[in-house]
A = this chain, B = another copy of it.
Amino acid sequence: MTIDETARPRGKRGPYAKSEEKRGLILEAALEVFAQSGYRAGSLRDVALKVGMSEAGLLHHFQNKSALLAAVLERRDDHARDMIDFSGPGRKTLTDLIELVRYNSTIPGVVELYCILSAEATSPDHPAHAFFVDRYQDTTSSITGAFTDMEQRGQLRPGINPAAASRALIALMDGLQVQWLLNRDSVDMVEDIRGFLSAVATEPF
């Protein structure tokens, strides 16, 4: 489900295709602006300038600012999914995830956007609440699948539960991001995630 499904035109021809294309351009521009400036400093005005539109014109493509921001994260999720092989062996999926963490550490502005929006969206009345509930459910399920595959291949340390390991890995990625954003020198996210995976596996990552 997309965060602004109701606002997204379903057709693909004529003005709809154009609107869809414009929408994609806005999201890529927004991703760049927030990656560079972060959630607080990055403004819709900068995004609008980048695509040669007014702020009002920009918001015409989305329901509101929250919906635009959530769509930006959805686009970032699409990019992330391109980096991760969910169909192969579980150990490969988790190795890809380490690379995603490495990539994230090059885009602190987007990490900040994600961090703040996911926290705000925990409130049931937040416009992006359903998006994040679904997102966490999907991610937890995919990563549980990867750990289950490792378990079946005898690559998981005895006593490690795949679903608990999945919840822990996601929590760890989220929590380390907060520590890293607060103080870049306090944590090496890649090494800490690698350490966690090595601790639950029979062979180091």
A125 and B179 form a contact (CB under 8 A): no
B178 and A133 form a contact (CB under 8 A): no
The A contact surface, by secondary structure, is helix
Q: Are A170 and B175 also in contact (CB < 8 A) when A123-B38, A136-B186, A183-B136 are?
A: yes
Smallest beta-carbon distance A75→chain B, Å: 20
A171 and B170 form a contact (CB under 8 A): no
Task: Output the residue of A137, A161, A164 with the most chain B CB within 10 A.
Answer: A164
- Please name the residue on chain B nearest to A116 by beta carbon: B119
Q: A55 contacts the other chain (Cβ, under 8 Å)?
A: no
A178 and B178 alpha carbons, distance in the complex (Å): 12
A183 and B137 form a contact (CB under 8 A): yes
B40 and A125 form a contact (CB under 8 A): yes
Smallest beta-carbon distance A185→chain B, Å: 11
Q: Are A176 and B171 also in contact (CB < 8 A) when A116-B120, A122-B112, A181-B122 are?
A: yes
- Please name the residue on chain B nearest to A111 by beta carbon: B122
Q: A83 contacts the other chain (Cβ, under 8 Å)?
A: no
Chain A residues within 8 Å of chain B by Cβ, number: 46
Q: Which of A2-10, A12-20, A89-97, A192-200 contacts B (4 or more CB under 8 A)?
A: A192-200
A174 and B178 form a contact (CB under 8 A): yes
Q: A25 contacts the other chain (Cβ, under 8 Å)?
A: no
Q: A168 contacts the other chain (Cβ, under 8 Å)?
A: yes
B112 and A123 form a contact (CB under 8 A): yes
Q: A172 contacts the other chain (Cβ, under 8 Å)?
A: yes
